[in-house]
Amino acid sequence: MLSMLLVAGMAASANAPAWQDGLDWHGVHVSMSQDAQGSYTLAWPYGQRVIPAQPLHTKTASLLFDGLFAMAQDDLKQDSVTAIRDGAFDHGQPIPCQCFETGLKWPYVWTRDLSYSVDLGLWRFDPARSRNGLQFKLSDVRVPSAPQGSASRQYVVMQDTGSGGSWPISTDRVVWFLGAQHLLGDKAFAEDVYHALGNTLTQDRQYAFDATFGLYRGETSFLDWREQTYPAWTADNVVTIGQSFALSTNVLHYQALQLAATLADAHHDAQAATDYSAQAVALKTAINAHFWRADRGLYMSYLGGDGTPYDTYDLLGIALAVTSGVADGARAQQTLANYPTWPAGSPVIWPERADQPIYHNRAIWPFVSAYALRAARVVNAPARIAHEIESVMRGAALYGSNMENYELLTQGQHVDEGKLSGPVVNSPRQVWSVAAYLAVVTEGVFGLTEDGRVEPKLPTSLVPMLFGQRTSIKLDLPDRQITLQLPAHVDGNLLVADRTDTHGTNTVVTLKAIQVPDLPLRTDAPPYAPAAPPAPVLIADADGWRVQVDGKVVLYINGKRHGSIDGNGQLAHQPGLSCVSATRIDAHGLESLHSPDTCVGDVMKVVGSWPRTWTAPATGNYRVSLDYANAHGPINTGVTAAVKMLLIRCHGSDEQRLPIVMPHSIGVQRSTWGRFAAKAGASCHFALDDGFNMSYLTHFAHYTGGAGGTDGPLNSASIGDLLIAPLGVAIATP
């Protein structure tokens, strides 16, 4: 289906009109008109929307562009509420909040949605409401005796309900600081930001940071419907996600560390500023060392907990890597150019999943397109800038609202394909989509930067639409007007500032056309990855392990690619634990997601009351985990992931502390694992201390959707065997 629609989509794109007063797409005509009072009417074959005159205006040759700017403002007004609600909080009763709700179908405030929206520019349009919403997502600790608890207020950022019982399976709550950094002019709020930043980073360093890789663990930011983007088997077990490393989440931590260094310096805490800065530099190095896939020229979306590479990519993570400066120089340009796109816009993940419905899979999300637009501006990529602007405009025009998402090829708000139909959920006036359109106007076309400078990077391909026969276009904002003036000759591919004159609140930028190297959009990528194979079967024999797999696969052992086998193979006995997964490669060279691991080797079980005692049989590094069951909530939501700190005291060695996470489970399964060292013959004592989870936060005293809410904090699991195995080696292909 996808390949057939591709041809039709390319034809539609090639014949696209100049979009002065409408557009045509897949046989649908949309028109925009304006009356004498300044109201716009957007009309399409199935209806129309009257858009009242708005306080802010653009004056271009495109009535469509101007009217959609008015529509975004009207959508934002509708998202501006005095109370929010969600069925899982206060039994669905209204909660007072002068803030932005997430969308028509999502009348609540979610940490990541709001934070990305504010970062995309809502801080310009309503700073008070932006601050209020962000403040709503801060919380103190309701149990002073809890780790990181305090009798006084100690703010941290909340991770919303989510995979396996929330944080630290999901760890992208630091995105909050991406939005908050724009609102530090309010001194009281700035102090809250500073303290919350220190507390949140301290927690994440303690429970989510892996010193071996130098990376933070946890789920990809925004892509939180597990089966859509992770292997299908994670639908019932999210431990692997909690053990893994995500590009987007690590880039967000990098940006939070940079902000912490800046704020610590402003607070005259030189040592903290130095420490945060050093952590940021080290994290950037680790991201580039582990996520960059040279054979693809792309940053991978996520890695397994042992560093296993996954041949999967997401646009938000890549865009954030570029805009944050994590990806610099040639890599920044290369990763964006190598990320594929289709005529309707850029998918949020690639490759797509043939067995999953449309939502994150096979979909365009306008807010991600806006971040891709930002990244394209960073690397001066005119074709990509124009492509993302057109995609966001088209989606808003086709459906009379800034929708949550669209199907990849038709840019449909819903496509019927049986069990694969979707988008499964699609809300009008989704706040980060609204923010995306506002960003398209302010940043993408008029070049308004965060610090108020005007730096246009306007593709000349958009001149016919925006300028027509005009010599200038204008943007009226509450406190200023920006005018862009065309040069006498437009003979390059990018319009940039030649001269900037400011008269009071009016900034006039005379443009010049330049020619920049511009890699073409990648439109020939195969859409789907092959399906993952079943887990390998390993059978012990005299020579080691006989490996049985389904067809021709690639084996990975302890995080490293080992080689291909077809049906059967042999592995020699190796010291320590060997964890083997398999992938399948298709005719296009795309690699599937990984099968579950099959682990073989000596695993020692330590039982009994705590503390438990074990004697190390040899000097070396060991892997430790727990058998457990956590029935306190479903796999996809809640706030009661059980988090403990395993204290290991081995004779002759310093104490070692390892976070152990036990998310919601279906029956008994293995926890996340950690590494520790021991000397031969050393007696080691293991104790479990309480850790921290989201149910300890005061905010979740209002949670009525499950355990850990109104009934009080809950951080427990049914714990069985303590499992210890010598760490194996990575067995790579010679």
Residue ranges of alpha helices (H) inside 231-365 are 239-243, 247-266, 270-291, 315-324, 330-338
**pLDDT (mean) for 280-303:** 98
Strands 302-303 and 313-314: unpaired
- Nearest-CA neighbor of 285 among 243, 252, 327? 327
List pLDDT tens digits, range 643-697.
999 999 999 999 999 999 999 999 999 999 999 999 999 999 999 999 999 999 9
CA distance 278 to 594: 34
The pLDDT score that the predictor gives to residue 732 is 57
Angle between helices 127-136 and 187-207 (to 10 degrees): 40
| Average pLDDT of span 168-172 | 98
Q: What is the pLDDT of residue 416?
A: 97
pLDDT-based confidence at 4, cuts 50/70/90?
Answer: very low
Do 604-726 and 95-455 fall under one CATH topology? no
**Taking 90 as the threshold, does the pLDDT of residue 270 lie above it?**
yes
Mean pLDDT of the region 442-468: 97
β-partners of residue 725 are 623
Indicate the SS3 state at residue 297. Answer: coil
Residue 548 bridge partners (DSSP): 537, 568
**pLDDT tens profile 356-386:** 999 999 999 999 999 999 999 999 999 999 9
Average pLDDT over residues 90-94: 98
Average pLDDT of every residue of the chain:
95
Share of the chain above pLDDT 70, in %: 96
Q: Give the CATH number of domain 95-455; options: 3.50.30.10, 3.40.50.300, 1.10.1040.20, 1.50.10.10.
A: 1.50.10.10
Amino acid 153: pLDDT: 65
> What's residue 177's pLDDT?
98
Amino acid at 56: L
Its pTM stands at 0.96
pLDDT at residue 11 in the model: 36
Tokens read off for 309: 């590479």
* pLDDT tens digits along 304-348: 999 999 999 999 999 999 999 999 889 999 999 999 999 999 999
Per-residue confidence at 543, pLDDT binned at 50, 70, 90? confident
d(CA 158, CA 89) in angstroms, rounded, equals 14
* SS3 assignment, position 303: strand
Residues 365 and 359: their CA atoms lie apart, in Å, by: 9
The 3-state secondary structure of 612-673, one letter per residue = EEEECCCCEEEEEEEEEECCCCCCCCCCCCEEEEEEEEECCCCCEEEEEEECCCCCCEECCC
pLDDT of 18 higher than 90: no
The yes-or-no verdict on residue 75 having pLDDT over 50 is yes
Measured between alpha carbons, how far apart are the two ends of the chain, in Å?
Answer: 41
pLDDT at 9 > cutoff 70: no
Confidence of residue 6 (pLDDT cuts 50, 70, 90): very low
Q: What angle do CA 478, 483, 485 make, to 5 degrees?
A: 170
> Which of 596, 611, 625 is CA-nearest to residue 687?
611
CATH of range 604-726; options 2.60.120.260, 3.40.50.1100, 3.20.20.70, 3.40.50.720: 2.60.120.260
Tokens for 541? 């024999």
pLDDT band of 573, cuts 50, 70, 90: confident
What residue segments make up the domains of the chain, in order of their start?
95-455, 537-596, 604-726
User: pLDDT digit string (tens) for 212-236?
Assistant: 999 999 999 999 999 999 999 999 9
Residues 6+ apart with CB under 8 A from 564: 552, 553, 554, 555
Residue 733 scores a pLDDT above 60: no
Q: Using the predicted structure, report yes or no on whether residue 729 has a pLDDT greater than 90.
A: no
